[in-house]
Structure 1
Amino acid sequence: MGNNSIFDRRETFFQTGIIWVFGIYLFFIQLTTSYPFIHMLPIPTPALLSIGISFLILVYYFYLVKGKGQTSEYSYRSLKKFVFLFILAIVLSIFSAIYTLNVIKSVEYVSYIKGSMLTRTIYYATFLIMLYYGYKIFSLMEERRIVNLIKVYPLSIFLLVLVGIWQLLYFSLDIPFLDITTRSYIHSVTGTSFFNFRLTSFADEPSYLGPFLIDMLILGYLAFKKKWIYVVLLVIPTMVVLIFSFSVSGYFNLMLLAGFLFLYLIFHPKVPKKYLWAVVILAVIVLVGAILLKPGLFEKFFSPILGRMQNLFNPQSSSRIYMYIMPFYWLFDHSWISAIFGYGPGSYEFLHFTKILPNKVSLATSSNNMYIDLFFENGIAGVCIVIFALLSILFVLLKNGRKNQYYFIALIEFVHLLVTSSYRADFVTPRYWAVILIVFLLMRLGEGKEKEKQQ
C-alpha cells in the first residue's frame, strides 16, 4: 500500500512537471514571430526549444509511460496514419533528392543538400517526435489536466494582444513603446488614409498575427465558463488588434473561417437557423450601408488594404503570386523522378539560389504557402500524400464535429490551420505542430465524452 502511494505521488509529480514544461513551450511559441527572439542564440531559439522539449518528452515516455495506455482510440489510429504518411512523403523526397543530385550536378544544389535538407530533416524528426509521443503522454491524463494544458496556448497569446493594444496607444497617443523594429509602416496606399501604421505587436510583420490571434479566438473559448467574459477579455481586444493590423491574409483567414462556420452550422439540427441568417444579413446590411453612405470614409479607413489589392493577382507585380505560380513550371526543369517525388525537404532554398523575381531580386527561401513549398519539395506524389493525410483528419472531424464541444473546436481549429497554411508556410515551426497535437488531444477528449454518453 505504501509503495503504491509513493509511486502514485511520484507519477503525479512527473505529470505536473511535464505539463509545466510543455506549457512553457506553448507560451514561447508566440515569440517565434519575432526576429530578435529567433536569433538571440547561436542556434535558432525555436529549434533549440523544440529539440529540448522533444528530448524531454522522449525521456518521460520511455521512463514512465511505455507499456501503459489505451492505444485503441480512433484518434490514436488517425494520428498513426498521419505520422506514417508524412514520414513516407519525407523519405521519398530524400531518396529523390539523392537521385536529383546526380542529375543536376549543380553547386547550388550541393549547397542545399549539405545545408537546408539536413536541417529540415532534423526539424521534421523533432516535431514528429513531439507530436507522436506527446500525444501518447498527454492523452493518458485525465480530462481536466488535458484541458488545462490546451488552455495555456490561447491564454499565453494574450501577451501578443496586450502588446498590440499598447502599440495602438503608442501610434494614437504617442506614449512610449518597445524599442523594436517591425514592418508597422503602411505601403501601397494610392490615396489618403486615416492611418500611417499597421499593428504588429512584437511580431516582425502584420501577417504573422492572424494565425495566432485566430488560434486564441478558437481555443480560448475553452478557457471561460462564462462566455461574456470570453467576449470582453478575448474577442474584443483581439479583433481590435486584428482589424488594425490591416493584414490582407488575416482578413482573408477570418472571412474563410466564418464562411465555413456558417455552412457547417446551417446544417446542424440543433442550431436555430433564423439566428444564423440574422447575423449574416445584419453584417451584409452594415457593410453595404457603410460603403454606400460613406464611400470615401470606408476607402480611407481600409486604404492600407485596398492599395495592396490592386496588384495582388498580377505575377509580374506581386512577388508572392509569382512564387505561387512558377514552382509549377520549375518542378519539371530536370527529371520526371524529381517532378514526381520532389527535390528534397527544404529544397525551395535551391530556388532561392537559382531563380530571380521579375524585379531582379533573388527568390525568397519560401513561397509563404505550405502547399506550394511541399509541391516543389515533395513532388506531385509527396504533396498528394501529405494532403491526403490532412484530409483524413478533416473527414474524421467533419463526421464528428456536431457530437460535442471538443470535436467542434478541434474541427474549427484544424480548418483554421489548413487556411493559414495557404499564406504562412509555417509547417516547420512550433506553432504548426503544437496545433496539430492540440487537435488530436481535443479529438481524444471528444471520444471520451462520447463514451461517457454511452455508459
Structure 2
Amino acid sequence: MKNLVLIAVFFYLMTSFLSVSIEPMFMYVNYFFAGILILLTLPYLFKSKFLNYPFFKLISLYYFAASFSIFFGFVALYALNFEKIAFFDVNLYGRIFNIILFSALSLIIVSFCGYKNYLTVRYVALFYCVGCAFLILTGYWQALSLYWGIGSFPFETRSWVHGFNKSDYDIEGRLTGIASEPSYFVPFVLDFIILSLIAFKRRFLKLSAFAFGAIAMLLSFSPSGYASTFFAFILAMLFFIKPNSSTIKYFSSFLIIAPFLFFMLIAKIKNLGYVFERLSNISEDGRFKSIYDTLIAFFDSNIVNILFGYGVTNFRVASQYTDYSFLMTSNNLFADVLVEMGVVGFFLMLILFFILFYNTYKSSINNYQKFLTYALFFDLLTTSMIRADYSTSRFFIMISLIFLLSKYDVYKRS
C-alpha cells in the first residue's frame, strides 16, 4: 500500500504543470491522478495521528476566507444587487471543487510526510521538480523549432507580445513550452530553479538542473519571470543575512549566464527594450490600470460585499464597471482575493502568508535549506502578483512545500 501511495503522489505532483497547458484536455490527466490519490488515502483518514493538524490549522484560514465569501459575500451580492448578476451565469462550482480537491491533497501529502516514514520531503520536492522539468523540456523542444528549424512544434501558444498597450513591440521566439503563454510558463520554471538546489543531492546535478532552468527562464523573455526570479533570490538574501556560500555561487552563475545569452541571441530579439520598458513603467501598464479601476469599482459596493467580497470566481462583477469588462481575473492573487473574498478574506490570506514566513524565520533547519525556503516563499509571493489563481494545484503544492521545508530536514524522513 505504501508503494501505491508513493506512485500516486509522484504522478499527481508530476502532472500538476498540465493545469497551464494550451490543450485544456491535458489538465484532466492531473485530475485523474488526484482522484487516485484521494481514493488511496481514504483508509488512512480513519487512522489516529495521520492528519497533520498544524498544516490543517494553516489551511483553515483559507477555508474561512472562501466560506465567508460564498455564504456572506455572494448571497449579499445576489440578494441586495441582483441586477448586477444573473445567478445561473455564475460558475462557482468549478473553482470551489478545485479549492476543496487541491487543498485536501496538500493536506494529505503533508500528512504522509509525518506518518510512519511514508514520504520524505525530498521526494515531494523531487516529484514536483520532475513535472516542472517536463514543462521546461517542451520549451526546449519549442526552441529547437524556433531558433534552429529542427522539427516542428505543434502547439500554437501565445508566445508573441500581447496584452494591454503592447502593440509597439514585436519579439520573436519567446518560450512557452506547452503552457498557454510565457507568464504561465515562468512560475514553474522558477519553482524548478529553486527546488533543483534541494531535490538533487550531487553538485553536478544541482548545477546542471539550475542551468537547465535558468536558460529556459532567460529564453522566455518574460519581464514578470525575470522580476520574480530576481526578487525571489534578492529578498531571500536580505532576510537571510548569511546565505550558504554555495547558494551564492549558483545565483551568481545565473547572473553571469544572463548577459552572455542576451548577446548571443541578440539577433533573435526585434525589440529588447520591451522587457526593460515593462519593468520600468509598471504604473503605466494596462494590467496595473485594470486592477486599479476594478478596485475602485469594488470599494463602491455595499459594506457586506466590501467585507466578504463577491464570492469566488466573481471578479468580473467589479470589472464590468470599468473599461476592462472582459476580464475574468486580474492575474494578481491579492487583487482577486480582495474582490472575491473581501477585506476579511484578504486579511486571512495575509495571515496565512505571514505564518509561512514566520515558520521559516523561526525554523532551526540548516542554513542552506532555510535560505532556499525563503526563496521559495518569495517565489510564491512574487509570482502571485503577476499570474496567479488561488485555486490551482500549484498554489497549494507551493504552500505545502514551504511548510514542509521550514519544518523538516529535506534529506531525513519526518
- What TM-score do the two structures reach when normalised by structure 2? 0.85
Match of 1:22 among 1, 6, 9: 9
Question: In the TM superposition, what is the alpha-carbon distance from 1:180 to its structure 2 partner?
Answer: 0.9
Count, aligned residues: 408
Question: In the TM superposition, what is the alpha-carbon distance from 1:111 to its structure 2 partner?
Answer: 3.5
Determine the C-alpha separation between the residues in 2 that align with 1:25 and 1:362.
35
* Alpha-carbon distance change, 390 to 310 in structure 1, aligned in 2, over 3 angstroms: closer
Paired amino acid for 2:292: I
Are positions 1:258 and 2:206 aligned together?
A: no
CA contact (8 A) 2:308 2:343 kept: yes
Secondary structure of the equivalent of 2:115?
A: coil
Q: Deviations over 1:107-144 (max 9, x none)?
A: 624235xx322332222222222122332233214287
Aligned to 1:130: 105
Determine the C-alpha separation between the residues in 2 that align with 1:32 and 1:212.
11
Match of 1:55 among 18, 29, 38: 38
Paired residues for 1:44-443 under 5 Å: 45=28, 48-49=31-32, 52-53=35-36, 55-56=38-39, 58-62=41-45, 66-69=47-50, 76-94=52-70, 95-106=72-83, 108-112=85-89, 115-142=90-117, 145-186=120-161, 188=166, 190=168, 196-232=172-208, 234-267=209-242, 271=244, 302-306=272-276, 308=278, 312-314=282-284, 318-351=285-318, 354-357=320-323, 362-400=325-363, 403-443=366-406
* Greater mean deviation of Cα atoms: 383-392 or 119-128: 119-128
CA contact (8 A) 1:117 1:345 kept: yes
Determine the C-alpha separation between the residues in 2 that align with 1:54 and 1:335.
42
Determine the C-alpha separation between the residues in 2 that align with 1:17 and 1:179.
34
Sequence identity percentage: 22
Aligned to 1:31: 18
Question: In the TM superposition, what is the alpha-carbon distance from 1:215 to its structure 2 partner?
Answer: 0.9
* Alpha-carbon distance change, 272 to 154 in structure 1, aligned in 2, over 3 angstroms: closer
CA contact (8 A) 2:112 2:118 kept: no
Paired amino acid for 2:73: S
Paired amino acid for 1:87: Y
Determine the C-alpha separation between the residues in 1 that align with 2:410 and 2:34.
30
Question: In the TM superposition, what is the alpha-carbon distance from 1:337 to its structure 2 partner?
Answer: 0.9
Paired amino acid for 1:363: F
Q: Deviations over 1:1-37 (max 9, x none)?
A: xxxxxxxxxxxxx11101101211111112222131x
CA contact (8 A) 1:54 1:126 kept: no
Q: Deviations over 1:163-214 (max 9, x none)?
A: 22222221222111231111123464758x8x62211111111111211111
Q: Deviations over 1:77-102 (max 9, x none)?
A: 54133122111112211222112211
Paired amino acid for 2:228: N
CA contact (8 A) 1:366 1:425 kept: no
Determine the C-alpha separation between the residues in 1 that align with 2:328 and 2:129.
29
* Greater mean deviation of Cα atoms: 304-313 or 386-395: 304-313
Paired amino acid for 2:146: F
- What TM-score do the two structures reach when normalised by structure 1? 0.78
Q: Deviations over 1:139-159 (max 9, x none)?
A: 214287442243111123222
Paired amino acid for 2:239: Y
Determine the C-alpha separation between the residues in 1 that align with 2:349 and 2:194.
25
Determine the C-alpha separation between the residues in 2 that align with 1:92 and 1:185.
40
Give the structure with higher Rg (CA).
Answer: 1
Question: In the TM superposition, what is the alpha-carbon distance from 1:448 to its structure 2 partner?
Answer: 9.8
Determine the C-alpha separation between the residues in 1 that align with 2:245 and 2:31.
49
CA contact (8 A) 1:246 1:304 kept: no
Determine the C-alpha separation between the residues in 2 that align with 1:33 and 1:17.
27
Q: Deviations over 1:384-441 (max 9, x none)?
A: 1111111111111022266355444333222211111111122211111122222333
Paired amino acid for 2:25: H
Paired amino acid for 1:105: F
* Alpha-carbon distance change, 50 to 437 in structure 1, aligned in 2, over 3 angstroms: farther
Determine the C-alpha separation between the residues in 1 that align with 2:183 and 2:410.
35
Question: In the TM superposition, what is the alpha-carbon distance from 1:307 to its structure 2 partner?
Answer: 5.3
Paired amino acid for 1:155: V
- After superposition, the CA RMSD in angstroms is 3.7
Secondary structure of the equivalent of 2:15?
A: helix
Determine the C-alpha separation between the residues in 1 that align with 2:119 and 2:325.
50
Structure 2 residue runs without a partner (length 5+): none
* Alpha-carbon distance change, 334 to 178 in structure 1, aligned in 2, over 3 angstroms: same
* Alpha-carbon distance change, 107 to 334 in structure 1, aligned in 2, over 3 angstroms: closer
